[in-house]
A and B are shown apart, each in its own frame.
Chain A
Amino acid sequence: MKTYAILIDTSYCTGCNTCSYRCIQEFRSHTQATNGLFRTFVAINDGGLYHKRCMHCFDPECVKVCPVNALSKSEYGPVLYDQEKCIGCQSCVKACPFSIPQYDEKTQKILKCSLCAHRIAENKEPACAEACPTGAIQFGESKAILGKAKEIAKKRKMTIYGLSEASGTHTYILTIGSPKKAGYIDVKKGVPKIKKSSIESIGAMPIVAGAIIGGLKKLEERKRKIAEENKNKD
Chain B
Amino acid sequence: MADGISKNKDLTRRDFLKFVATTGAIASLSSFPFKNLEAQAPFGKHPQEKPIYQIKKKIPQVCARACEADCAYYVIVAHDPVTNLERAITLEGRPEDPVSNGKFCIKGLAFVDSIYDPDRLMVALKRTNPKKGTDNDPGWVTIKTEDAVNEIIQSLKKFKPEEILMCSPGDPYTNKLARSLGVTRSDQRTECFGTHYYINCLTLTNPPNKYYSSTYTPSHHVAGYDYDNAKYQIWFGFDSLSKCGKAGMLVHWKNAKKNGCKVVVFNPLRTPLADAFATEIYSIKPGTDLAVALAMMNIIIKDKLYNVKFLKDYTDAPALVDMKTKLTIKTKEGALMAWCETHKKAEPIDVCHKPVMEGGPYKLTIDNKEYEVKPILQYIKDTVKAYTPEWASKISEVKESVIIKVAKEFANAKPYAFIPTYKRDAAGPNYANSWRLRHAINILNTLTGSIDHEGGVILLHDVKIPWLEDLAKPVKPYPEQPKEPVDFRNMFPVTDEIYKNKDFSAPGHYGMVGWGLYKTQKTKAVFFRNPYRGLYAMIQPQMVEASLEKMDLVVDWNLYLDDIGYWSDYVIPAPHQFEEGKFDIRLYYPKWPCYVGGSPVQKSPGDQIGWGSLAVKIGMALAPEYWTTDGSGDPNKRVPLNMSDHALKNAGIASNTAEFMNKGGFWINKKKYENYKTIREIGYGRPNGRVRMFIDEFKKVDFEPVPVWAQRWHDAKGEYKFSMLITRAPWIMHADPNFINNPVLRKITEKNYMDCVWINQEAAKEIGVKEGDMVVLENNPEFLKELPRPVKAKVHITNRMLRKDCVLLFHGIGHRAKNLKVAGNWGYRDGDLIPQKDPNIVKKHDPTGMGWVEDVYVSIKKA
Contacts and interface: CB of A to CB of B under 8 A. Distances in A.
Given A25-B89, A43-B752, A117 B800 contact: no
A222 interface: yes
B251 interface: yes
Nearest to A35: B747
B43 A219 contact: yes
A198 B110 CA distance: 39
Contacts of B103: 131-133
B385 interface: no
A95 B29 contact: yes
Interface stretch (B33-41, B284-292, B552-560): B33-41
A65 B28 CA distance: 9
A232 to B, nearest CB: 14
A135 B81 CA distance: 29
A24 interface: yes
A172 interface: no
B324 interface: no
Contact of B751 (A36, A83, A127): A36
Contacts of A91: 29
Contact of A65 (B30, B38, B92, B93): B30
Contacts of A199: none
B43 A15 contact: no
A121 B43 CA distance: 8
B29 A28 contact: no
A141 B11 CA distance: 37
Interface stretch (B242-250, B580-588, B696-704): B242-250
A46 B800 contact: yes
Interface residues of A, number: 72
A67 B744 CA distance: 32
A144 B147 CA distance: 64
B631 interface: no
A84 interface: yes
Contacts of B531: none
Interface string A124-154: 0001001111110000000000000000000
Interface stretch (B203-211, B217-225, B271-279, B401-409): B271-279
B743 interface: yes
B13 to A, nearest CB: 4
Interface in A4-44: 11-18, 20-22, 24-28, 30, 33-36, 41, 43-44
Interface stretch (B46-54, B357-365, B619-627, B710-718): B46-54
Given A25-B109, A33-B747, A226 B45 contact: yes
B811 to A, nearest CB: 17
A43 B44 CA distance: 33
Contact of A117 (B49, B747, B751): B49
B799 interface: yes
- Of B17, B44, B103, B251, most buried by chain A (CB within 10 Å of CB) is B44
Contacts of B46: 72, 74, 80, 82, 117
A223 B744 contact: no
Interface in B672-731: 730-731
A203 B152 CA distance: 72
A80 to B, nearest CB: 5
Given A46-B799, A68-B11, A80-B46, A18 B106 contact: yes
Contacts of A87: 11-13, 16
A67 B9 CA distance: 10
Contacts of B745: 21
Nearest to B34: A64
Interface string B741-768: 0011101100110000000000000000
B747 A67 contact: no
Contacts of B92: 130
A26 B52 contact: yes
Nearest to B750: A36
Given A34-B743, A65-B29, A134 B276 contact: yes
B6 A69 contact: yes
A201 interface: no
Interface string A156-190: 00000000000000000000000000000000000
A24 B36 CA distance: 28
Given A59-B36, A114-B48, A16 B250 contact: yes
A96 interface: no
Nearest to A71: B35
A73 interface: yes
A223 B44 contact: yes
Nearest to A116: B48
Given A18-B109, A85-B9, 9 more contacts: A14-B730, A15-B752, A28-B81, A33-B744, A44-B272, A64-B32, A64-B36, A66-B32, A87-B12
5 contacts: A17-B245, A21-B110, A117-B48, A118-B48, A219-B43
4 closest Cβ contacts across the A-B interface?
A16-B245, A133-B247, A87-B13, A14-B244
